[in-house]
């Protein structure tokens, strides 16, 4: 009790003693480095890397920094830099980590940016998206301070209670990530079995977890076989164990970081530029207690690493903390991965398989598939990519509804980013929606193929398929439920059909919207 009183008294004095007058030019505002051409070199093993993590201490108009923030945050991030390096080296990516802009051997060049509004404006909910434009403006006015595309933003806690910090953005938003500062955020408390140690694990571990997001990594969980020796995955629940119990970076996260700009030892002018990538073949099977996946791809940029995320439903978004992962290097333009079921935590229900390709310029391309466990056995028939019939001479004859930016003809342009989209701007017609495909001549088909856009809200769910040779007399080929996935999926007709025309009629969509959409339509013959 006496210790608590002394510590709280210290915090009160520290907060009262913090004022702008105590800060030098290196701690406040634009041009924070004030360095000359004779900038010293440092022994930090990553100091010569061309790209550095931008570190911003963001202050609302009515907030002052907590005492000693530059030293505390510098120590945290320098230790984190080493933590990343050790883990990437263990996973075979060499001893590499994110770069940091240094003022001295143990001191980061942290920019303090003063916000335009008071702290209430930058609350946890929505505050991050309000801060980003102001930091972008700071970078526009101080171009020499933007060292990469990745930025960590730290905001002082606004709770008023040093032992219960909070109230500010704490999450990842693209290549931005947000964390908080509070008076006791110091690595000296990590591992202590008391309130200060628990807070350090929560908020320092949380900062490192969110930094992982800002460096492109999604959530994922340690495999069962990794848990006894390596502990808890940082991008899983590691923000609750860091500093207390073994915490590590999985191979999938290591691959993500290794392909992040701030880890690069060479300069490029095409970081994160769009790549042209196609997953042309894919087969999955269950054999000897494992899911075995083989595939082939093409790309206009070198693929460096491929991650496989097995995500039990509900999947995606913030529902993927429980996702075991595997990582392989491509073998030319092919890949092969084995995922033993002994490394899964549950062998029941739906799963989403996401295959993510990382390219040498940092860009990634993700394909998603659904499969289901029945009686402990994965049903992998839908984890497949088939060879499609040529679409030369194909056209869309009609659609009941299309938006001005979502013409039905876009289902045949080969671009997953351009889609048929029913009206939603001015009018919002309800289901059923339909379109008619003309294959140009009578064609033998065993089934049809569908490709959704990356945003699955409104994707076609239940539908009926008809075929015809005259666009007048139609034969129903059955009702189907399409999957909520972003890679090609297939429906097999009851029997081989010979037809020129196909009509699809929707019954509903995912999300229960009135509108729907589709990126590409195709057909196959077994």
Residue 373's pLDDT is 98
Residue 329 in contact with residue 93, Cβ under 8 Å?
A: no
Residue 447 in contact with residue 524, Cβ under 8 Å?
A: yes
Residue 387 exposure: Cα atoms within 13 Å on the Cβ side: 3
Residue 316's pLDDT is 82
Question: Is 7 in a helix, a strand, or coil?
Answer: helix
Residue 117's pLDDT is 98
Residue 16's pLDDT is 30
Question: Is 177 in a helix, a strand, or coil?
Answer: strand
- Checking 13-16 for CB contacts under 8 A at 24+ apart, the result is 14/66, 14/67, 14/68, 14/183, 15/66, 15/67, 15/183
382 torsion bin: left (phi>0), alpha (psi -120 to 50), beta (else): alpha
User: Residue 178: what are its φ and ψ, rounded to 5°?
Assistant: -125, 140
Residue 452 in contact with residue 518, Cβ under 8 Å?
A: yes
Find, among 505, 414, 433, the residue nearest to 464 by Cα. 505
Residue 385 in contact with residue 296, Cβ under 8 Å?
A: no
Strands (E) across 12-110 are located at 52-59, 99-100, 102-104, 107-108
Residue 67 in contact with residue 15, Cβ under 8 Å?
A: yes
Residue 40's pLDDT is 61
d(CA 482, CA 396): 20
Find, among 37, 33, 16, 14, the residue nearest to 25 by Cα. 33
d(CA 295, CA 436): 32
pLDDT tens string 190-237: 999 999 999 999 999 999 999 999 999 999 999 999 999 999 999 999
Residue 365's pLDDT is 95
Residue 74's pLDDT is 98
Burial class (CB in 10 A: 0-12, 13-18, 19+), 404: exposed
pLDDT tens string 367-381: 989 999 999 999 999
Query: Cα dist. 65→17, 21, 112 in Å?
Result: 10, 12, 9
Buried/exposed 370-400: b ≥16 CB within 10 Å, e otherwise: bbebeeeebebebbbbbebbebeebebeebb
d(CA 147, CA 131): 18
Residue 122's pLDDT is 98
User: Residue 65: what are its φ and ψ, rounded to 5°?
Assistant: -65, 155
Find, among 475, 464, 462, 482, the residue nearest to 501 by Cα. 475
Q: Can you read off the two tokens belonging to residue 503?
A: 């009509």
Low-confidence residues of the chain: pLDDT under 70? 1-41
């Amino acid at each position: 009790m006496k210790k608590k009183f002394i510590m709280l008294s210290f915090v009160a004095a520290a907060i009262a003693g913090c004022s702008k007058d105590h800060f030098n030019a290196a701690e406040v505002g634009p041009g924070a480095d004030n360095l000359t051409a004779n900038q010293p070199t440092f022994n930090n093993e990553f100091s010569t890397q061309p790209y550095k993590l931008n570190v911003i201490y963001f202050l609302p108009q009515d907030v002052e920094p907590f005492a000693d923030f530059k030293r505390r945050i510098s120590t945290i991030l320098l230790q984190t830099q080493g933590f990343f390096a050790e883990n990437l080296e263990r996973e075979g990516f060499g001893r590499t980590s994110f770069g940091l802009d240094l003022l001295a051997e143990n001191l980061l060049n942290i920019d303090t940016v003063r916000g335009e509004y008071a702290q209430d404006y930058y609350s946890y909910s929505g505050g991050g998206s309000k801060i980003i434009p102001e930091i972008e403006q700071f970078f526009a006015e101080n171009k020499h301070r933007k060292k990469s595309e990745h930025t960590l933003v730290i905001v002082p806690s606004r709770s008023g209670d040093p032992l219960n910090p909070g109230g500010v953005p704490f999450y990842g938003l693209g290549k931005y990530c947000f964390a908080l500062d509070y008076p006791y955020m110091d690595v000296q408390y990590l591992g202590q079995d008391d309130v200060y140690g628990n807070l350090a694990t929560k908020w320092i571990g949380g900062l490192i977890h969110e930094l992982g997001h800002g460096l492109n990594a999604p959530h994922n969980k340690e495999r069962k076989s990794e848990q006894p020796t390596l502990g808890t995955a940082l991008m899983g629940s590691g923000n609750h164990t860091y500093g207390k119990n073994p915490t590590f970076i999985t191979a999938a996260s290591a691959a993500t970081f290794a392909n992040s700009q701030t880890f690069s030892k060479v300069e490029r002018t095409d970081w994160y530029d769009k790549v042209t990538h196609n997953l042309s073949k894919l087969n999955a099977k269950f054999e000897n207690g494992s899911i075995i996946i083989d595939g082939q791809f093409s790309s206009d940029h070198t693929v460096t690493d491929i991650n496989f995320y097995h995500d039990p439903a509900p999947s995606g978004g913030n529902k993927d903390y429980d996702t075991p992962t595997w990582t392989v290097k491509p073998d030319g333009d092919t890949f092969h991965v084995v995922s033993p079921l002994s490394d899964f935590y549950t062998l029941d229900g739906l799963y989403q398989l996401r295959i993510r390709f990382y390219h040498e310029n940092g860009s990634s391309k993700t394909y998603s598939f659904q499969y289901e466990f029945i009686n402990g056995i994965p049903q992998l028939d839908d984890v497949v990519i088939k060879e499609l019939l040529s679409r030369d001479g194909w056209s869309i004859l009609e659609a009941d509804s299309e938006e001005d930016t979502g013409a039905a003809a876009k289902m045949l342009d080969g671009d997953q980013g351009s889609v048929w989209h029913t009206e939603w701007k001015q009018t919002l017609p309800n289901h059923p929606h339909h379109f008619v495909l003309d294959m140009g001549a009578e064609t033998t088909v065993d089934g049809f193929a569908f490709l959704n856009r990356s945003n699955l809200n409104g994707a076609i769910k239940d539908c009926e398929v008809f075929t015809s040779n005259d666009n007048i007399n139609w034969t129903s080929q059955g009702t189907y439920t399409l999957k909520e996935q972003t890679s090609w999926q297939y429906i097999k007709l009851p029997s081989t059909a010979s037809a020129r025309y196909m009509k699809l009629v929707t019954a509903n969509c995912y999300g229960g919207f009135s509108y729907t959409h589709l990126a590409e339509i195709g057909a196959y013959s077994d």
